[in-house]
């Protein structure tokens, strides 16, 4: 796990605090927060053009695929949580799907999982779901033609954009892997000076042409047309498993949201195959047993109790979570009684050992089903009509599989690494999994992405989510705690120091900003504390009880928010 936290930390250290990190005021139409000012502007332009928050989110997603393409793009997947003006809440699953030819042991060589196979190149690629999700959201809930939003993003790809320091850092870290794939090297290495620096311009004419193909032909170009065929041809020549027929069979799945409550607020988040919503709600259920506000943000006791609750939840994640269309994910994980039982094992005076997962009620009969319906990016939008969107999108690790399908400019994900390649063997994020997340044909890998909405008396007050592997769950949780328990506005909620514990490895990650007294106090309580410069990147849009709107990109990064 050290690697990805270090990657996130270095990237964040290299960044500056933007002047536009937080925006508040009375919007004429809506608010947008993303990790990149060009993408934020695209979302605001969609609002100016008469679009709603859904159009703004689609504009952000398409533009992030250009200017922040190492994190997300149409070659990857996303989860979108929407609250529509009429009060309906939807969760759209655009997670990648394993190809039909995927097998349980496909990443094992000589009996051992080989991370190079699941992280780089042909076998690491799942069938992308982002474009299907954006098209679905646009058709059913948007107001602007999708083609118009594609054309706007195509112009950015064609004209180029100035790299930020974050992008440059990712390029440096990934250079040697990108060099293995000629098409990717031509775009991301030879398309830039040998030693790129912030301000250098990256143009992506092939990606612009692909966006325009879809503007003209619809997303069938991607799932049933030229792109699917080109991808199959490349895969066949490079030992991959993905076929054009896998693309044709891909579908976005509307799922039943995870719903919970916390101190009278309603929490709506993403269900499996994300673990995010389940564990955000589970941890909140645990913490509801404690007077978190009285502990005080910044106290040793606050960090301790949150970390202990995270540890219990992540132990359950490793045992129970997977694609609900394949694995029996117990709904009892959301039970308040179950959380109360777990909370009784939690001691305030010392870190406890959590040997294994718990046994949620109904684990043998009551499961999530379809019928019941930093290497990643999160963006939030809202409009004055009452539409709110929380969307987290990802290629998985930086530049995903590092594979660009020749002639298309489209970078493919490596989300096959989010499966459990071998029980008990950690993936890139140090996460272990079990049978529930084993590889199977057409199954979706488990995720931590947690696009979440918080409501009070039916009225949305927060749209939030994050990037950074399993820390997504922790960041989203902390933003909710800071909002509800400590009354912070989005910028302050996101700026406050973070912590993360994922059960295995038994390490409590804390940001340096907690300060030496808290860090030493946690060590004295028995925690193995790892201090990170910075943890993750979250974005949020909010509206307080007085009706004041506010949006914020993570103050640790180079993102921006805006109001129009």
DSSP state of 290: S
| Stretch of 187-195, 442-450, 481-489, 536-544 contacting ligand GLY, by CB under 6 A | 442-450
Residues 465-494 that bind ligand GLY (CB under 6 A): 469
Closest CA to 377 of 150, 68, 92, 169: 68
Report in angstroms how near the CB of residue 394 gets to ligand GLY at its nearest.
5
Report in angstroms how near the CB of residue 374 gets to ligand GLY at its nearest.
9
322 is an interface residue for ligand GLY by CB under 6 A: no
| Stretch of 109-117, 131-139, 191-199, 443-451 contacting ligand GLY, by CB under 6 A | 443-451
Residues 389-428 that bind ligand GLY (CB under 6 A): 394, 396, 418
Distance CA 498, CA 524 (A): 19
Q: Are 388 and 53 in contact (CB under 8 A)?
A: yes
376 is an interface residue for ligand GLY by CB under 6 A: yes
**Structure tokens, 227:** 């792109």
Residue nearest to ligand GLY (CB): 447
Q: Is 376 a catalytic residue?
A: yes
447 is an interface residue for ligand GLY by CB under 6 A: yes
Report in angstroms how near the CB of residue 241 gets to ligand GLY at its nearest.
19
71 is an interface residue for ligand GLY by CB under 6 A: no
449 is an interface residue for ligand GLY by CB under 6 A: yes
| Selected binder of ligand GLY within 124, 133, 448, 539 (CB under 6 A) | 448
Nearer to ligand GLY, 81 or 376 (CB): 376
| Stretch of 211-219, 344-352, 353-361, 446-454 contacting ligand GLY, by CB under 6 A | 446-454
| Stretch of 39-47, 125-133, 445-453, 531-539 contacting ligand GLY, by CB under 6 A | 445-453
| CA distances, 512 to each of 285, 482, 534 (Å) | 27, 18, 7
Q: Are 398 and 173 in contact (CB under 8 A)?
A: yes
Nearer to ligand GLY, 394 or 401 (CB): 394
Report in angstroms how near the CB of residue 120 gets to ligand GLY at its nearest.
15
SS3 187: helix
455 is an interface residue for ligand GLY by CB under 6 A: no
| Strand partners of residue 394 | 77
- Which residue in the list 376, 377, 381, 476 is annotated as catalytic? 376
| CA distances, 424 to each of 356, 416, 432, 447 (Å) | 12, 16, 5, 17
Angle at 343 between CA 340 and CA 345, to 5 degrees: 125
DSSP per-residue letters across 303-371: HHHHHHHHHHHHHHHHHH-S-TTTS--BGGGG-HHHHHHHHHT--SSSPPP--S----TTTTT-B--SS
Closest CA to 8 of 466, 480, 401, 413: 466
Distance CA 329, CA 276 (A): 13
What positions carry a catalytic annotation? 376
Residues that bind ligand GLY (CB under 6 A): 376, 394, 396, 418, 447-449, 469
């Amino acid at each position: 796990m050290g690697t990805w936290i270090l990657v996130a930390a270095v990237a964040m250290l290299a960044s500056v605090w933007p002047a536009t990190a937080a925006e508040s005021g009375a919007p004429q139409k809506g608010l947008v927060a993303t990790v990149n000012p060009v993408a934020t502007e695209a979302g605001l332009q969609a609002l100016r053009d008469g679009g709603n928050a859904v159009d703004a989110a689609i504009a952000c997603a398409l533009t992030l695929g250009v200017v922040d393409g190492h994190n997300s793009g149409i070659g990857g997947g996303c989860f979108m949580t929407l609250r529509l003006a009429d009060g309906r809440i939807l969760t759209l699953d655009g997670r990648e799907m394993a190809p039909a030819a995927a097998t349980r042991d496909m990443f094992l060589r000589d009996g051992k999982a080989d991370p190079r196979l699941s992280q780089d190149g042909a076998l690491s690629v799942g069938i992308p779901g982002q474009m299907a999700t954006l098209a679905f959201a646009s058709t059913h809930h948007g107001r602007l033609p999708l083609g118009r939003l594609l054309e706007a993003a195509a112009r950015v790809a064609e004209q180029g954009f100035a790299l930020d320091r974050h992008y440059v850092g990712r390029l440096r870290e990934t250079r040697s892997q990108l060099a293995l794939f000629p098409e990717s090297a031509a775009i991301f290495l030879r398309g830039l000076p040998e030693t790129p620096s912030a301000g250098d311009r990256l143009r992506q004419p092939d990606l612009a042409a692909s966006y325009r193909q879809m503007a003209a032909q619809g997303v069938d170009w991607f799932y049933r047309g030229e792109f699917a065929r080109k991808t199959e041809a490349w895969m066949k020549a490079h030992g991959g498993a993905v076929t054009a027929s896998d693309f044709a069979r891909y579908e976005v799945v509307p799922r039943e949201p995870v719903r919970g409550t916390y101190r009278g607020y309603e929490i709506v988040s993403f269900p499996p195959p994300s673990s995010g919503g389940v564990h955000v709600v589970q941890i909140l259920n645990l913490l509801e047993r404690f007077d978190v506000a009285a502990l005080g943000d910044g106290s040793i006791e606050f960090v301790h109790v949150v970390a202990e609750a995270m540890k219990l939840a992540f132990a359950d994640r490793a045992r129970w979570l997977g694609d609900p269309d394949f694995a029996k994910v117990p709904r009892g994980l959301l039970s308040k009684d179950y959380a109360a039982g777990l909370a009784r094992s939690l001691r305030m005076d010392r870190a406890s050992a959590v040997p294994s997962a718990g046994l949620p009620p109904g684990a043998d009969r009551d499961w999530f089903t379809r019928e019941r319906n930093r290497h990643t990016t999160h963006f939030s939008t809202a409009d004055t009509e009452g539409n709110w969107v929380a969307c987290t999108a990802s290629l998985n690790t930086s530049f995903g599989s590092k594979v660009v399908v020749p002639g298309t400019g489209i970078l493919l994900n490596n989300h096959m690494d989010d499966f459990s390649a071998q029980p008990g063997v950690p993936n890139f994020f140090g996460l272990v999994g079990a049978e529930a997340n084993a590889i199977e044909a057409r199954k979706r890998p488990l995720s931590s992405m947690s696009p979440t909405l918080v409501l009070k008396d039916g009225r949305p007050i927060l749209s939030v989510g994050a990037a950074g592997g399993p820390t997504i769950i922790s960041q989203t949780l902390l933003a909710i705690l800071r909002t509800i328990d400590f009354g912070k506005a989005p910028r302050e909620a996101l700026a406050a120091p973070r912590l993360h514990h994922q059960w295995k490895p038994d390490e409590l990650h804390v940001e340096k900003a907690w300060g030496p007294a808290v860090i030493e106090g946690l060590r004295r309580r028995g925690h193995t504390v790892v201090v990170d410069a910075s943890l993750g990147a979250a974005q949020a849009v909010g509206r307080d009880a007085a009706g004041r709107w506010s949006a914020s990109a993570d103050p640790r990064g180079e993102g921006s928010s805006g109001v129009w």
